[in-house]
């Protein structure tokens, strides 16, 4: 399935003065998408919109909605300053894109977060956002600690069974009996789902009117407020909005009126701890090549429950988990550790990029030459040194040539953009190529998976061969072939 991308167009008056129209920016972005075999499904046109704030713009809201519903998985724009000049909004955009696994592609800055090197951009943006959050947090931390120690509200909702009254936590007359019943029911049958079912059957509901779930019951049973000890300042939300615990040294406890006795609270929590200790520990296995390993028939191959093999659901082609990782490790050694192969590969790619840049430069000079001829012809006409008929005969061919050259320009620019971004990615990967192979056996499954996602585009298992397509850099031959196929041109390979 093709990657679905949107194009963000916001062109400044300075850009337009240089001849960079919204149409030119859209054409360049479309050519970049075409080069990468992506599908352009949306265009967000903010031409003429101020860069001070764009989040509230109708087109920006439409783009954000499309990201959240998974309609687009990438956004192409001319440069970061055209996405948002306001640093705060840029951080917010980047955070939103990262949360929803949507790539940002800035043509001028050569940032493509679908590439390994481009993903470093998200790391830097996340660091900037974290720094900004920490600066704000430092300014309010002292106030929070004082309010927490005094048992005052920090702005959040009161725990179920309690309410804030005159800035103090007091027992809620309607909710507290239900909260107490939870402990009594759990002490009797020791099952969270059973407690939730009995509460719901009795017609009781949560504060927002929802039915009780086992997870809600678990959270409330573990909360120390019910035994008279209100815990505050113990959690925070990370950049993706996930609630995480703070270090215990930062927690604050303040006494409140209890709903249940400490003995009943302890009995219930000891029972939960005992059940947790009996459950077998273990995490869901990380399958290194899931989603990347394809059968020769075109289907993706997966490891099904209790199977030691990757299996094609269509033709039942299979390979053991151990064998595919062994082959991959051998390929790492064969390609990455071979300095001669690395050198040849980079030299080929560098030459290909140089050739494309030379062609773009020559094309730009040709446009300038045609413009000069057009100006000269017009000046002759203005000076009555050429008849109207003569002017038309000379000027019209120049005008047609200018149209053709201008239409071709975004294609060439997009091609250079794409190769340069892949070139950056290649250099990033090659920087630690030798260490990667040497340290591979020491990595954990999750580390290996992240590395594979960064450098592998696809692995194809045919009857007797395994072909690995490295994602960071196609060969110069591949790039040339791809561009010729896309453009349908008869240009000789560079």
At 56, which CATH number?
A: 3.40.50.1390
Are residues 160 and 93 located together in one domain of the fold?
no
Which ranges of the chain have pLDDT less than 70?
A: 12-20, 48-53, 85-87, 116-156, 233-234, 236-243, 279-285, 334-349, 422-437, 454-455, 470-494
- Count of structural domains within the chain: 3
Model pLDDT, residue 67:
93
Question: Domain check: are 182 and 79 in the same one?
Answer: no
- What confidence score (pLDDT) does residue 10 get? 84
Q: Domain containing 172 — which CATH number?
A: 3.90.1750.20
pLDDT digits (tens, 9 = 90+) for 398-424: 999 888 888 888 888 888 887 777 665
Strands 103-106 and 74-77: parallel
Which of 76, 98, 104, 86 lies closest to 7, judged by CA? 76
Any domain includes 320: no
Tokens for 73, please give them: 């998985």
Q: Answer yes or no: do 482 and 370 share one domain.
A: yes
In a shared domain, residues 401 and 450: yes
Res 434: pLDDT: 60
For residues 272 and 235, membership in a common domain is answered with yes
In a domain, 115, yes or no: yes
C-alpha 251/C-alpha 168 separation (Å) is 18
Residues 168 and 232 in one domain: yes
Task: Check whether residue 345 and residue 409 sit in a common domain.
Answer: yes
| One domain, residues 122 and 200 | no
User: Which tokens is 145 given?
Assistant: 């600690």
Q: With respect to residue 271, please indicate whether it lies within any of the assigned structural domains.
A: yes
Q: Supply 72's token pair.
A: 């687009």
Q: How far is CA 91 from the centre of its chain?
A: 13
Buried b / exposed e over 157-194, threshold 16 CB at 10 Å, is ebbbbbbeeeeebebbeebbebbbbbbebbbeeebbee
Please tell me the predicted confidence (pLDDT) of residue 267. 93
Secondary structure of residue 106 in the 3-state scheme: strand
Chain centroid to CA 345: 29
Same domain, 344 and 479: yes
Give domain status of residue 24, yes or no. yes
- Whether residue 245 is contained in a domain is answered as yes
Q: Provide the domain limits for residue 55.
A: 4-131
Answer yes or no: is 492 within a domain: no
Cβ within 8 Å of residue 190, ≥6 positions away: 271, 275
pTM (two decimals): 0.44
Angle at 343 between CA 340 and CA 347, to 5 degrees: 140
pLDDT at 180: 94
Rounded CA separation 15/21 (Å):
7
- Residue at 98 is within a domain: yes
Mind listing the pLDDT tens digit for each residue in 422-444? 665 545 545 555 666 677 777 77
């Amino acid at each position: 399935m093709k990657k679905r991308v949107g194009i963000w167009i916001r062109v400044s008056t300075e850009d337009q003065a240089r001849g960079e129209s919204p149409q030119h920016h859209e054409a360049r972005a479309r050519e970049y998408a075409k080069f990468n075999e992506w599908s352009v499904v949306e265009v967000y046109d903010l031409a003429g919109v101020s860069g001070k704030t764009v989040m509230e713009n109708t087109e920006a809201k439409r783009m954000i909605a499309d990201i959240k519903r998974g309609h687009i998985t990438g956004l192409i724009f001319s440069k970061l300053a055209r996405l948002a000049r306001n640093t705060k909004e840029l951080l917010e955009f980047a955070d939103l894109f990262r949360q929803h696994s949507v790539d940002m592609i800035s043509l001028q800055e050569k940032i493509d977060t679908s590439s390994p090197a481009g993903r470093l951009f998200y790391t830097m943006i996340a660091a900037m956002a974290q720094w900004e959050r920490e600066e704000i947090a430092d300014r309010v931390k002292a106030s929070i600690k004082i309010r927490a120690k005094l048992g005052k509200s920090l702005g959040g909702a009161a725990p179920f069974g309690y309410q804030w009254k005159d800035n103090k936590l007091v027992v809620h007359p309607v909710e507290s009996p239900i909260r107490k019943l939870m402990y009594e029911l759990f002490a009797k049958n020791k099952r969270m789902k059973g407690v939730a079912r009995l509460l719901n059957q009795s017609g009781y509901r949560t504060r927002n009117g929802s039915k009780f779930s086992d997870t809600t019951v678990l959270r409330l049973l573990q909360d120390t407020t019910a035994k008279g000890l209100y815990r505050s300042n113990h959690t925070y939300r990370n950049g993706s909005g996930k609630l995480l615990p703070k270090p215990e040294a930062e927690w604050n406890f303040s006494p409140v009126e209890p709903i249940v006795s400490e003995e009943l609270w302890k009995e219930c929590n000891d029972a939960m701890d005992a059940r947790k200790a009996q459950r077998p520990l273990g995490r869901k296995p990380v399958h290194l090549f899931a989603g990347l390993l394809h059968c020769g028939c075109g289907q993706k191959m997966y490891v099904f429950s209790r199977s030691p093999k990757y299996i094609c659901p269509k033709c039942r082609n299979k390979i053991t988990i151990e064998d595919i990782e062994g082959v991959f490790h051998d390929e790492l050694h064969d390609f990455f550790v071979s300095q001669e192969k690395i050198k040849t590969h980079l030299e080929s790619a560098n030459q290909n990029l140089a050739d494309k840049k030379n062609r773009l430069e020559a094309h730009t000079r040709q446009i300038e030459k045609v413009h000069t001829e057009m100006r000269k012809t017009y000046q002759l006409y203005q000076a009555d040194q050429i008849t109207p008929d003569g002017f038309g005969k000379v000027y019209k061919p120049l005008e047609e040539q200018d149209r053709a050259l201008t239409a071709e320009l975004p294609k060439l620019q997009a091609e250079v953009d794409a190769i340069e971004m892949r070139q950056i990615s290649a250099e990033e990967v090659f920087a630690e190529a030798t260490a990667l192979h040497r340290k591979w056996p020491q990595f954990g499954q999750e580390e290996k998976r992240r590395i594979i996602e960064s450098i592998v585009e696809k692995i194809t298992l045919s009857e007797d061969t395994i072909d690995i397509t490295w994602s960071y850099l196609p060969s110069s031959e591949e790039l040339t072939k791809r561009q010729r196929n896309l453009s349908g041109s008869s240009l000789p390979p560079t």
